[in-house]
Amino acid sequence: MKTILIKGGRVINPAEKFDAVADVLIEDGKIKEIGKNLSADGAEVYDATGKVVTPGLVDLHVHFREPGQEAKEDFLSGSQAAAAGGFTTVCTMPNTKPVVDTAALVRSLEQRAEDVAKVHVKIIGAVTKNQEGKELAELGDMIQAGAVAFSDDGHFDPTAKVLLNAYDYLHTFDKVIINHDEERSLCDEGVMNEGHRSAMLGLKGRPTVAEDIAVARDVMLAEYAGARVHVAHISSGRAVDIVRQAKQRGVRVTAEVTPQHLTMTDECVNLFDTSTKINPPLRTQKDCDALLEGLKDGTIDAIVTDHSPHAQEEKDREYIYAPSGFPGLETSLGIMLTDLWHTGHLDLPLIISKMSYEPAQALGLDAGTLEPGKAADITVIDPELEWTVDVKRFYTRGSHSPFVGRQLKGKAVLTLVDGEVVMKDGVVR
């Protein structure tokens, strides 16, 4: 394999709290050395002056739709979108058709990823059979097959006993359950946050208390079992408080948040634009502020995309009938830099940590660091690059995004996976 030398960039390595201008030398697909004034005979040199060099970004929550929903996305198009956005490792959710609830499916998807994916794709298995919340899936067999975590994402497991059984079982393997926390009885048929805006639009709402109750229950069950729990796409300020208090008690809980829940509110909901229909829904500015504080004080560990592409004909429907979600891999970093770093709300090292090192730690992945001897999964970011969100230039098959037409500042310009360039200047190879 060739030798690559990334010269003169601002290197941010959250694992070591390293933040300085330095060079990164890559040999045989691994990081050889990080330091000043490095050189190597015959190396391909990339000038990173004025740019930021970080661990490859890690996303714990994507929907690549395989198996069964390839018209929306597949491992090739999804991984191309990941590479374009600066991500080198992604974890794909199991709410597919069929649901990923067997070891055989985990193995087949791992092979599929190895054959076609541009980045590392990790498989998350279902907690219960067919995600019905009634009977545990093949958890042990899926772990042996390579599943990195378990989730009934898209569903709230209604039976506490079944979830407690899952915690007890997975505690033995030190594996994480990622919970979609929303008490269904409080939000069935709701399509946006319950509040003033939903009343004005005449839409049924999904109250924050539905999330709060679910988070409290699932955290308490994990505490009782001594197990690990990860709260998916947290959106409620009160839920952040619940997680914060649980961490203070020593509960093994982590949490994630999306850029859209950090930067958008229910005031953005427009009946004629279904891209804003997501689950959990966009909340209030008060919730956004609480989420930001949760990131700053360590309550929230990871920034994820919840990349959820749909076919165009599915989203081009009345708001109440359209599915929830939109593709986020290619806009996530740009939104974080534009709305939260350039505006002074968050420090750049914190954003990088929450998008690389900390998510990898939450699931125990060997990723998210710049360390000699480790795989050269690296992202180079131009923090000043101005660009316009244009779905015609997306690699994902999803075309509905609330960020379409926005002028953003900051973008990944180079993505390396195992020392190979998979994206350069926006073009995926």
Catalytic residue ranges: 306
Bond from prior residue into 67 cis (ω within 30 degrees of 0): yes
Q: Where are the beta strands (DSSP E) in 194-283?
A: 205-206, 228-231, 253-257
In angstroms, the CA 293 to CA 274 distance is: 29
The H or E element containing residue 164 is helix 160-171
In angstroms, the CA 389 to CA 303 distance is: 20
Q: HSE-up of 387 (CA within 13 Å, CB side)?
A: 22
The answer to whether 346 and 296 are in contact (CB under 8 A) is yes
Residue 193 neighbours by CB under 8 Å, 6+ apart: 205, 206, 207, 208, 266, 269, 281, 282, 283, 284
| 3-state SS class at 243 | helix
* Alpha-carbon distance values, 380 to 20, 85, 350 (Å): 14, 11, 16
The answer to whether 203 and 260 are in contact (CB under 8 A) is no
